[in-house]
Amino acid sequence: MVKLLLSLLLIAPAAAFLSTSSHARGSHTQVSETKDDLAVLAGELNPVVGFWDPLGCLNLDFWQLGTEGTIGYLRHAEIKHGRVAMAGFLGYLVQSTDFVSGPHNNLPFPGYEAGLTPPEQWDAIPLWGKIQIVTFVGMLESYGELLPVHYTKGGVPGYYPPIKGNRPELVLNLYDPFNFFSRMTPEAKEAGLVKEINNGRLAMIGLFSFLAEARVPGSVPVLTGIIPPYNGNIMIPFEGDFSFFG
């Protein structure tokens, strides 16, 4: 496992579309960003690769948002996917241990079987359990769009509104329950954002490496013999749950 982590850390993070100006990082509202802002942050994120937009996405106009709105959309998408990938990367490792995949005194859900790989654990969850998970994620996703200033209209990409209310189960802000971010200086937030972007990019590469090696053993040589094979289809998350999947 040490060899695995060291190998992943040596992979150069892929360049993408994230950027931010000093003003953007130090506040909750910002002016829309430009290609010049992206070029500045690209040097901070990875001075070796620098600014790189091989598909020319920054010249596109998504849903008539304009160039700056499109930049905001792409930046928010990468931050969000990076966060999910970081959770998925760690989750894949944890689910590969006996603590999760081994025997349990109390079964965590109907259909549970010890010794399953992470993708197989998902396949073993009953259909209604999967629907509940997807519905909950959809609710979080919808709530995340209720922003004071939307990220495509000058808002801060990656910002998630606080989830807190008067109900007993919502006494904490689920996004920042211990108010770590509120106590950070603008400089610390700026440095933290750069780290989060790079870690998110690395996690996306790492998670896809896990899935590729599981589906096609030997496709990621450094992971051969570490990640167990998976015979299902990772592109069909509900495979076997509905008749039209065969």
In three-state form (DSSP H/G/I as H, E/B as E, the rest C), the secondary structure along 29-97 is ECCCCCHHHHHHHHHHHCCCCCCCCCCCHHHCCHHHCHHHHHHHHHHHHHHHHHHHHHHHHHHHHHHCC
**Of 15, 54, 55, 5, nearest in space to 209 by CA:** 5
Within a domain: 228: no
Within a domain: 235: no
Q: How many domains does the chain have?
A: 1
Within a domain: 9: no
The mean pLDDT of 44-70, rounded to a whole number, is: 83
Q: State yes or no: 81 annotated in a binding site.
A: yes
Q: Count other C-beta atoms under 10 Å from residue 139's C-beta.
A: 10
Q: What is the CA radius of gyration of the chain?
A: 20
Within a domain: 66: yes
Q: State yes or no: 75 annotated in a binding site.
A: no
Within a domain: 102: yes
| pLDDT score of 164 | 67
Q: What is the mean pLDDT of the chain?
A: 77
**Which band of pLDDT confidence, cut at 50, 70 and 90, is reported for residue 113?**
confident
| pLDDT at residue 8 greater than cutoff 70 | no
> What are the pLDDT digits (tens) for 140-178?
899 888 888 888 888 888 888 877 655 555 566 666 777
| CA neighbours closer than 13 Å in the CB half-sphere of residue 76 | 23
Within a domain: 8: no
3-state SS assignment for residue 177: coil
| pLDDT at residue 76 greater than cutoff 50 | yes
Q: State yes or no: 35 annotated in a binding site.
A: no
Within a domain: 54: no
Q: State yes or no: 183 annotated in a binding site.
A: no
Q: State yes or no: 128 annotated in a binding site.
A: no
Task: Please report, for the domain that includes residue 184, its CATH number.
Answer: 1.10.3460
Q: With contact defined as beta carbons under 8 Å apart, do 58 and 17 qualify?
A: yes
Within a domain: 126: yes
First-last CA distance in the chain = 37
Contacts of 154 (CB under 8 A, 6+ apart): 29, 30, 31, 32, 68, 72
Q: In which domain, by residue range, is 98 found?
A: 35-48+60-215
| pLDDT at residue 114 greater than cutoff 90 | no
Q: State yes or no: 145 annotated in a binding site.
A: no
Q: State yes or no: 44 annotated in a binding site.
A: no
| CA neighbours closer than 13 Å in the CB half-sphere of residue 58 | 17
Q: State yes or no: 239 annotated in a binding site.
A: no
